[in-house]
Structure 1
Amino acid sequence: MSLARALVDVRPLRTSPLFRRLLIGRTVSTLGSFMTVVTVMFQVWDATRSTVWSGAVGLAQALPMIGIGLFAGSWVDRADRRRVYLLGNAGQAACSLLLAVQGFTGHVPVAAVLALVAVQASFGAVGAPAAGVFVPRLLPKDQVAAGLALNQVTGQAMMLLGPAVAGVVLGWWGIGVCYLLDAASFGVSFAASFALPAMPPVGEQSRPGLGGVADGLRFLTGHRVVRGALLTDLAATVLAMPASLFPLVNSERFDGDPRTLGLFLSALAVGGVATTALSGPVTRLARPGPVMLGAAGTWGAALAGFGLTTSAWAGLGFLVVAGAADALAVLSRTTIVQTCTPDALLGRVTAAETIVGQAGPQLGNLRAGAVAGWSSGATALVTGGLLCLAAVTAGGASTPELRRGSGPADAPTPPAPPAGAPAAPAVEPG
């Protein structure tokens, strides 16, 4: 296999100038968002020295996504997705500007900072379902997985770069400048997405309120491939999420060395970035179902191996494998959702996928901490990894459609785009 075919498939960058601009804008805004995550944590800890308040930062970011997501998805499936996404971007930028103002002035209660973070997350919950329709509408069907891989590899790269940049900016210029740079990054994203064509739903529009939400949930429970993909992801994160155990395992096995603890998270990220960068063969294979099952099982097995080893180097190797498996599982899950869901339902299903991605790790960290509390970190890792492997095996056995592969659901062909825009892909029956 040539190196060019092994690397992430870059055909979408040549096929669609609009996708290329959108990717650049979203990459810049992702960098700014990770800078803000670090800055908020730093500001709250510096002001309170309280782990309770520090933990509240995660809740302020996650709860709006979970509480608003499904209703936002229903609204997205009744509106022009481009306008909804622009509204979400503008709202997030405004919140970053307000965070910058309080960062420069100081003396703002921590509760007010968290309230701004929650409002910003709410705008993010509105924009995320709208963004979920862009790739399948801008790219031919056979390039959707490649487009998602490009989104993922740039996002992971910014996850590595953003905290480092935030640390430098915080040290040199302070929290106000960090927030201001985040606001500017949303401006870049807004400008990049402003050129997109109108993207109203194709097919029957969502019903308002709970009726539209119920229709989306009915599709999720009835479509075996999409349901199987989301349940597989939920099982992997709830049963085998390791992050909350890292400090305990580091203390139990490696004498609490802070250098080892830092390498744990870096190893997961390195595995994810490297695998996504070499995802060309996987995205061209066009069989996301089997890939997801294999990756989710590998995730569980690698974390069980990490729990068993007493060697720091072997442990880091297991975490690199786990990070690689996680990246493939996420890429496959997103590909399944965006190619198997009719356009008229895509906002709601993307919202549900986002909620699974937010809630699963939180519940997984809670489960891991509870198990470790009455046993040990290693026991929590090993049992979680084995339970994940068993759940994925059972899911694959009970969902042959996911095991064989996945094909798009029936959906109408989108209308022709305006002149100069790439044709939206026709969705073929699965």
Structure 2
Amino acid sequence: MTRTASQAQHEQPDREGVAPGEPPAKRRIFADLTPLRISADYRRLWFGNTISWLGQAMTALAISLQVYDITGSSFSVGLVGVFSLVPLVLFGLYGGAIADTVDRRKLGLYSSVGACLLSVALAAAAFAGYQRVWFLYTVVALQAVCFALNSPARSAMIPKLLPAEHLPAANALTSMTNTSGAMVGPMLGGFFVGLWGYQAAYAIDVVTFGAALYAMWRLPAMRPERDEGKRGRASVVDGFRFLATTPNVRMTFFTDMCAMVLAHPRALFPAVAGLWFGGDAKTVGLLVAAPAVGALLGGLFSGWLGRIRRHGLAVLASVAAWGTAVAVFGLTRNLWLGLLFLALAGASDTVSMIFRTTMLQTATPDDMRGRLQGVFIVVVAGGPRAGDFLAGTVADLTSPALAITGGGLACVAAVALLALRWPAFARYDSHTPTP
């Protein structure tokens, strides 16, 4: 692979594979910040995404609040998720195919501009006092389209900005961005909406987009590396054909589906908060926050992950740990103990995500990375929704305890069966990545 402009400027690591001033990998505990130090392009991209993600999380909450203010209907608020999910799933695959055809830097830049203009439209409508729920639904759907185009392009660029050995650290930093934004963004959104109204949250979102746009604008050209015989538009079908021939890459999706579909108890938190813990809405909030806190801590204390070579085995272990933690949560009736196991589940999910993403980036040819990231978007977006439906259905037919504990055990069993069916996945070595 040819070196990019940013890689030519990397600070040379020492003999232990870390930049000067960094602690050796064997002693590192906290998140490895080396990717931020060695690549100016990656550093700008990470900071820009972190800042803009906060603004987008604020806007997401503000839209939900505004829809409820207009309609007074919780069902109408729920439709916000539908208008976001459907375009995300439909355009996720095609966004990945486009990212494997055009300059990814331009695709990322143009889709970010589109998302920024949508926030401008929200702010302008709010300042003008224009309140129509159909307008908000339309903006939400178009935001999902922009994200479906932007995310595969941005994710496919990361392996061109950093050496392969620093990708786990980069993915840990990404997990911290996503988790902290999802936690802090809604709190800030609620604060500013309460203080100055919806227009304040939307206007702040517009401003925060500046960091993401600047980062994309400063990147070098990022055209996919394609063989001479593969000219032309990339095909979604070809992406699925490639996935059918790559058991290790395919297993990253299978294991994630085990966790998100079979052992996803989020939909049952309102029921168990009262039934098990005698709580109220505040208890539901704690249950929802616990996995996110665990995920954030998992990213914060991720320095040791750089020493792991057997990425497939790490994925199997972390997904099994998720299922085990969820199963134990279903057995406990002590709130604080339950929160602890939910936090452990969240930390396990972070470890799984870091290694699954790294395998996807290193074992996939560059001209297929966009399409595989598109599949990743569909799995990440659709898996939890399918898990919510399954958990709710089983709980209604049996009980919440059986749905949660049984789901956790089913996740562990499914992962074990997958490991037996494709044993090479557990032997996957990051030093010789094979799809």
Give yes or no for TM over 0.5. Answer: yes
The letter for the 2-side match of 1:386 is L
Does 2:361 align with 1:338? yes
Tell me the CA shift for residue 346 of structure 1.
0.5
Alignment-mate amino acid for residue 126 of structure 1: L
Find the counterpart in structure 2 of residue 227 from structure 1: 250
Cα-to-partner distance string for 1:239-291 (whole Å, 9 max, x where unaligned): 11111110011121122322321111221111111111111111331332111
Asked if residue 185 in structure 1 is aligned to residue 235 in structure 2, the reply is: no
- Which of 255, 266, 284 matches 1:261? 284
Corresponding letter in the other structure for 1:339 = T
Residue 345 of structure 2 corresponds to residue 325 of structure 1: no
Counterpart of 1:75 in structure 2 is 98
Counterpart pick for 1:53 among 59, 67, 76? 76
Distance in 1 of aligned mates of 2:205 and 2:121: 11
* 1:30 matched to 2:50: no
The match for 2:325 is: 302
Whole-Å Cα distance in 2 between the matches of residues 2 and 323 of structure 1?
Answer: 24
Within-5 A mapping of 1:282-293: 282-293=305-316
> Retained in 2: the 8 A contact 1:74–1:207?
no
1:171 maps to which of 189, 194, 202: 194
Q: Take 1:86 and 1:2, find their aligned partners in 2: how far apart are those partners? A: 35
2:174 partner letter = N
Cα displacement string for residues 110-152 of structure 1 (whole angstroms, at most 9, x for unaligned residues): 1221111101110111111100112100001111111111111
Match of 1:251 in 2: 274
2:265 to 221, 229, 242: 242
Q: Which residue of 2 aligns with 1:380?
A: 403
Q: Equivalent of 1:136, from 152, 155, 159?
A: 159
Q: CA deviation at 1:107?
A: 4.1
Letter in 1 for 2:243: L
Question: SS in structure 2 opposite 1:336?
Answer: helix
SS at match of 1:308: coil
Distance 2:434 2:393 in 1: 45
CA distance in 2, matches of 1:387, 1:342: 33
1:272 counterpart residue number: 295
Greater shift after overlay, 375-384 or 293-302?
A: 375-384
Letter in 1 for 2:165: D
Higher deviation after alignment, 335-344 or 180-189: 180-189
Equivalence map 1:83-122=2 (5 Å): 83-122=106-145
Distance (whole Å) between structure 2 residues aligned to residue 61 and residue 4 of structure 1: 43
Shift of 1:339: 0.9
Point out where structure 1 has 5 or more consecutive residues left out of the alignment.
410-427
For 1:109 and 1:372, how far apart are their aligned partners in 2?
A: 37
Distance 1:203 1:135 in 2: 17
- Deviation at 1:408? 7.8
Helix, strand or coil: the match of 2:381?
A: helix
SS of equivalent to 1:132: helix
Question: 2:73 and 2:388 mapped to 1: Cα distance?
Answer: 19
Following the alignment from structure 1 to structure 2, what is the Cα–Cα distance between the partners of residues 288 and 277? 19
Alignment map for 1:407-422 (pairs within 5 Å) = 407=430
Aligned-pair CA distance for 1:406:
4.3
Task: Name the aligned partner's letter for residue 17 of structure 1.
Answer: A
Does structure 1 retain, via aligned residues, the 8 Å contact 2:310–2:426?
no
Residue 4 of structure 1 and its aligned partner are, at CA, apart by: 5.7
CA RMSD of aligned residues (A): 1.8
Alpha-carbon shift at residue 207 of structure 1 (Å): 4.7
Query: 1:2/1:143 Cα in 2 relative to 1: closer, same or farther (>3 Å)?
Result: closer
State the aligned residue count.
410
| Identity, % of aligned positions | 37
Structure 2 distance, partners of 1:19, 1:139, is: 8
| 1:18 and 2:18 are equivalent in the alignment | no
2:390 alignment partner, one of 367, 373, 379: 367
Structure 1 residues 246 and 429, CA, compared in 2 at 3 Å: closer, same or farther?
closer
Give the TM-score normalised by the residue count of structure 2: 0.91
Q: Equivalent of 2:238, from 190, 196, 215? A: 215
- Pairing of 1:196-211 with structure 2 (within 5 A): 196-204=219-227, 205=230, 207-208=232-233
- State the Cα distance separating 1:206 from its structure 2 match: 6.7
Equivalent position SS for 1:255: coil
1:73 positional shift: 1.0
* In structure 2, C-alpha distance between the alignment counterparts of 1:400 and 1:229, rounded to whole Å: 13
Query: Cα deviations across residues 284-313 of structure 1 (Å, max 9, x unaligned)?
Result: 313321111111111111111111111111
Q: Deviation digits for residues 322-374 of structure 1, max 9, x if unmatched?
A: 11111111111111111111001000001101110000001100111111112
State the partner residue of 2:28: 5
User: Structure 2 unaligned runs (5+)?
Assistant: 1-23
Residue in 1 that maps onto 2:4: none
Contact 2:70 2:131 in 1 (8 A): no
